[in-house]
């Protein structure tokens, strides 16, 4: 199976990355178990009979992007610590990514590329959505409305993660878009997803899109809208991406990076004694032969599922959007399910925000949310900016203050509309 190009292509080159050309092993393994080359001519697969295949291809692209994103943002936000001797990987952990670094823009699911995989995921979902909306019932597309809901959901999540993880991003050769603009675009895609999921009676996708829309609204500062959406998510809802150890493209990246001794659990999450943050001391050194290795226990193997949206996340969004004593009540209701002792009541906004931040950090640990929590809630950087890089020993340089990744040169060099 050929891999995708490792660079963001210009708009004209996107034909080689479109859904019609990207039925990789990742995307097809659970559907038809077929392999197709990347450079199939445009239109070869873009027929109504292949609608399900096209959407599954787009979902597969998201799987690829999401695993790397969770690890990369976990390093940037202090959930994980880099433990290799590969200097090109250190920028995430050091929070000083330069726009000319290729490590974070590569489109290789077995590395820690983020920008290109998310951009490919966004494009393939968009393209599937465009085709599905262009077809009609007369084209005999099975489950067309439900497929529209699915494509729109992953299109929305791709934009949401680009907005949370990056300082700016560009879409289809267009200008740089701010995080706020990306959140608004994500909301629009989730609108489409929810409408069509309701029409198709697909509660699972409908609730996932509700969580995504609530998250995007919270990120954008629309607390009232976020609270309304979050309150609609039913108790017990949990949507997870099912990974597969049999293929590198679809293995759980958190597990493989940690158990491969490339990353360790960061000190802030070691020894908490909290069942939501299961961590074990491996009693050995990590890959750099300097740093003690601590293993996360949230994902027990390379086939472990990673949550994408849940009732718990919706309640955490509702707590933050509600604020005040109501937030503490919501947090304590969640804690009682573990069970954990209730948080003390408080009317101090700073205390309430700290409680919200802590509960989010523990409930959503290693789910790709904490980096933007640091931005949105103005949380302290851990380790602090300016300290010598690496907790155990000096690798050179100091910790930076980045809380988002820059738009990479691979985008701006190939897209004149995104420059400056």
Give me the pLDDT at residue 78, please. 97
Give me the pLDDT at residue 8, please. 28
Give me the pLDDT at residue 394, please. 82
Mean pLDDT of 49-77: 96
In this prediction, residue 104 has a pLDDT band, given cuts at 50, 70 and 90, of confident
- Would the pLDDT of 23 be above 90? no
Alpha-carbon distance of 357 to 320, in angstroms, equals 9
Quick check: is 18 in a domain?
Answer: yes
Quick check: is 267 in a domain?
Answer: no
Provide the domain count of the chain.
1
In this prediction, residue 188 has a pLDDT band, given cuts at 50, 70 and 90, of very high
Quick check: is 280 in a domain?
Answer: no
Give me the pLDDT at residue 29, please. 30
In this prediction, residue 43 has a pLDDT band, given cuts at 50, 70 and 90, of low
Alpha-carbon distance of 208 to 215, in angstroms, equals 11
Quick check: is 327 in a domain?
Answer: no
Helix 51-76 × helix 144-165 angle, to 10°: 20
Give me the pLDDT at residue 6, please. 27
- Would the pLDDT of 42 be above 80? no
At 257-313, the pLDDT tens digits run 999 999 999 999 999 999 999 999 999 999 999 999 999 999 999 999 999 999 999
Instruction: Look up residue 292 and give its two tokens.
Output: 């003690």
Quick check: is 153 in a domain?
Answer: yes
At 314-371, the pLDDT tens digits run 999 999 999 999 999 999 999 999 999 999 999 999 999 999 999 999 999 999 999 9
Q: Contact at 8 Å (CB) between 405 and 97?
A: yes
Instruction: Look up residue 400 and give its two tokens.
Output: 């930076």
- Would the pLDDT of 400 be above 50? yes
Quick check: is 279 in a domain?
Answer: no
Mean pLDDT of 99-103: 90
CATH number at residue 85: 1.25.40
At 118-166, the pLDDT tens digits run 999 999 999 999 999 999 888 889 999 999 999 999 999 999 999 999 9
Quick check: is 306 in a domain?
Answer: no
CA neighbor of 382 nearest in space, from 295, 276, 269, 279 = 269
Q: How far is CA 330 from CA 33, 221, 237, in A?
A: 44, 20, 16
Give me the pLDDT at residue 248, please. 77
Residue-number span of the structural domain to which 71 is assigned: 11-232+244-250+384-414
Mean pLDDT of 382-406: 92
pTM, full prediction? 0.90
Q: What's the chain's average pLDDT? A: 89
Q: How far is CA 389 from the centre of its chain?
A: 26
First to last CA, the chain: 37
Counting residues of the chain whose pLDDT is more than 70, the rounded percentage is 90
- Would the pLDDT of 31 be above 70? no
Other Cβ atoms less than 10 A from the Cβ of 88: the count is: 12
Mean pLDDT of 232-252: 93
Alpha-carbon distance of 387 to 384, in angstroms, equals 6
Give me the pLDDT at residue 109, please. 74
Alpha-carbon distance of 337 to 17, in angstroms, equals 44
Give me the pLDDT at residue 393, please. 82
291-297 long-range contacts, Cβ below 8 Å, gap at least 24? 291/81, 291/83, 291/264, 291/390, 291/391, 291/392, 291/393, 292/264, 292/392, 293/83, 293/261, 293/264, 294/264, 294/265, 294/270, 295/258, 295/259, 295/264, 295/265, 296/254, 296/255, 296/258, 296/265, 296/366
Quick check: is 355 in a domain?
Answer: no
């Amino acid at each position: 199976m050929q891999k995708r190009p490792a660079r963001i292509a210009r708009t004209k080159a996107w034909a080689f990355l479109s859904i019609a050309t990207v039925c990789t092993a990742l995307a097809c393994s659970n559907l038809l178990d077929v392999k197709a080359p990347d450079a199939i001519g445009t239109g070869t697969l873009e027929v109504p009979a292949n609608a399900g295949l096209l959407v599954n291809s787009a979902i597969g692209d998201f799987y690829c992007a999401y695993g790397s994103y969770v690890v990369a943002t976990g390093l940037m936000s202090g959930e994980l610590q880099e433990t290799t001797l590969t200097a090109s990987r250190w920028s995430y952990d050091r929070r000083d990514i330069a726009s000319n670094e290729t490590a974070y823009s590569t489109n290789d699911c077995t590395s820690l590329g983020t920008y290109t995989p998310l951009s490919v995921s966004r494009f393939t979902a968009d393209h599937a959505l465009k085709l599905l909306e262009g077809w009609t019932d007369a084209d005999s597309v099975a489950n067309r409305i439900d497929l529209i809901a699915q494509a729109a959901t992953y299109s929305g999540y791709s934009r949401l993660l680009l907005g949370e993880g990056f300082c700016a991003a560009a879409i289809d050769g267009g200008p740089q878009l701010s995080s706020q603009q990306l959140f608004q675009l994500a909301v629009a895609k989730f609108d489409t997803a929810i409408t069509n999921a309701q029409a198709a009676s697909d509660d699972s996708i409908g609730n996932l899109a509700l969580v995504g829309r609530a998250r995007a609204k919270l990120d954008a500062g629309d607390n009232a809208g976020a609270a309304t959406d979050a309150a609609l998510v039913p108790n017990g809802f949990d949507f997870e991406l099912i990974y597969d150890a049999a293929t590198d493209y679809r293995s759980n990246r958190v597990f493989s990076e940690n158990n491969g001794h490339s990353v360790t659990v960061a000190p802030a999450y070691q020894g908490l004694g909290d069942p939501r943050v299961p961590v074990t001391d491996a009693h050995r050194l990590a890959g750099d032969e300097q740093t003690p290795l601590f293993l996360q226990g949230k994902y027990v193997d390379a086939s472990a599922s990673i949550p994408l949206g849940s009732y718990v996340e919706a309640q955490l969004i509702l707590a933050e959007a509600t604020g005040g004593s109501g937030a503490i009540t919501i947090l304590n209701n969640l804690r009682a399910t573990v069970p954990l002792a209730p948080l003390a009541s408080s009317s101090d906004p700073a205390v309430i925000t700290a409680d919200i931040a802590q509960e989010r950090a523990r409930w959503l640990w290693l789910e790709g949310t904490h980096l933007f929590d640091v931005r949105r809630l103005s949380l302290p950087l851990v380790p602090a900016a300016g300290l010598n890089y690496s907790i155990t020993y000096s690798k050179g340089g100091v910790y930076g203050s980045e809380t988002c990744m820059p738009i990479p040169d691979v985008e701006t060099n190939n897209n004149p509309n995104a420059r400056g």
